[in-house]
Structure 1
């Protein structure tokens, strides 16, 4: 009979409310943990980016130091050649090469100093970012442990309620169960309400006497024209939170 089906829906709703209460007990912890993990991933990527820049700077500096070393060898070679020049033209040419090489060495060494400064800054950034990453990792571990503890404490109760709900739901036609679940998603507090003082127990909208009598007979399903909830009869007509 439809009356028993509606009563079953009320029982399903009681369980859904208990499950919702357990879910709300988590608060915003799952969301905060998800956001923290996103920050953690972003921080790890930033650290990797800094390390990549540091490695590139070190490679460039070492390459330049190699070029400076070769330039110094060339300079020594030119200076040695000065002792064997035979005329002023050769002397001027070698002297020019020495001056050019010295300028190359000076400019290179200046750049090397700049690289060292950049490396120091990047190393400092690595240390700072590592500390920030470790702090985030610690926070994530603590929040995850807190959430896991909460889940562990409620796991058995949730499983029991879920099984009870599944058993009750089997006696409700799938299309009616889907309708109930759709209403419950939009009306989080309740999808099935009893009449209260001649009105909808959900939103309070007045129900015409004739419709109230039809609802009392429970031969078909009626919905509140205002809030869309499923309406059922309440013998004592007291305001009830099912």
Structure 2
């Protein structure tokens, strides 16, 4: 058992490093989503601005057609004044002309309002487009950096896997089986370091007798909290 302790400590260090890398790897999707969300937000603003401008233009064009129709109608009524034969007909036609003029005037006011809104939207649009372009550029750079980080982390994990396999092969069959079973069921950490009298993985405190056994560095101590194998660094290691 004592001969296996240095090998298990090596596995402990390899697994701790792998867990750190896995944690870093797990953060990457959320970081990617954050950059994508920023681009999506800026794009929605640009699209909303473009849609608002198109809406104002469509409504203004429709109003301008109606204004032209009212102008034609007013011109026809004006010509019809020449054909009236009495004051009553004259006043009736004047009333029709005034009604058309009022409708045309109302539409002209709405056209002016829409033109002001179009101008304001057009003025603001370049800044929105620039913000989108900046977000897309920064997102592309961030994605490239994250891809490089992912590649690096996966490379490190592959190297750790190879070193782990090489170390595990040096254990006897029962020790290999126990290690692999614990590692699979304990989030990649089969062996825990004893830190401040407790399990360094789940922080469950050790009894005085368990600490005494651990200090002799002759056998493992089982954590009563998480079931991991616990040990102090073997004598002669940098962590001892």
Q: TM-score, normalised by structure 1?
A: 0.74
- 1:235 and 1:143 map into 2 onto residues whose CA distance is 42
Matching of residue 208 in structure 1 with residue 208 in structure 2:
yes
1:53 aligns to what? 52
User: CA shift at 1:149, angstroms?
Assistant: 3.1
Q: Which residue of 2 aligns with 1:88?
A: 87
Q: What is the rounded CA distance, in whole Å, between the counterparts of 2:85 and 2:104 in structure 1?
A: 27
Q: Which runs of 5+ in 1 are unaligned?
A: 185-189
SS of equivalent to 2:230: strand
2:177 maps to 172
Q: Decide whether the 8 Å contact of 1:194 with 1:240 is kept in 2.
A: no
What displacement does 1:85 show?
0.6
| Residue aligning to 1:230 | 229
* Cα pair distance change 1:67/1:206, threshold 3 Å: closer
- Shift of residue 37, structure 1, vs aligned partner: 2.0
1:187 maps to none
Tell me by how many angstroms 1:126 deviates. Answer: 2.2
Q: Alpha carbons of 1:229 and 1:91: their partners in 2 closer, same or farther (altered >3 Å)?
A: same
Cα distance between partner residues in 2 of 1:107 and 1:234 = 88
Q: CA RMSD in A?
A: 3.9
Cα distance in 1 between the residues matched to 2:157 and 2:183: 20
Match for residue 104 of structure 2?
105
Q: 1:135 to 1:29 in 2, by over 3 A?
A: farther
- TM-score, length basis structure 2: 0.74
Deviation at 1:15, TM superposition (A): 1.6
1:181 to 163, 182, 187: 187
Output one character per residue of 1:92-143: Cα deviation in whole Å (capped at 9) or x when no partner: 1111111111111111111101101111112223222111111111111222
Distance across 2 between alignment mates of 1:64 and 1:114: 12
Contact 2:191 2:228 in 1 (8 A): yes
Paired position in structure 2 for 1:241 = 239
1:115 and 1:160, CA in 2 relative to 1: closer, same or farther beyond 3 A? same
Q: How many residues of Structure 1 are paired with residues of Structure 2 in the alignment?
A: 229
TM-aligned CA distance change 1:65 to 1:114, over 3 Å: same
On the 8 A contact 1:74/1:101 being kept in 2, the answer is yes
Query: CA separation of 1:233/1:134 partners in 2, compared to 1, >3 Å: closer, same or farther?
Result: closer
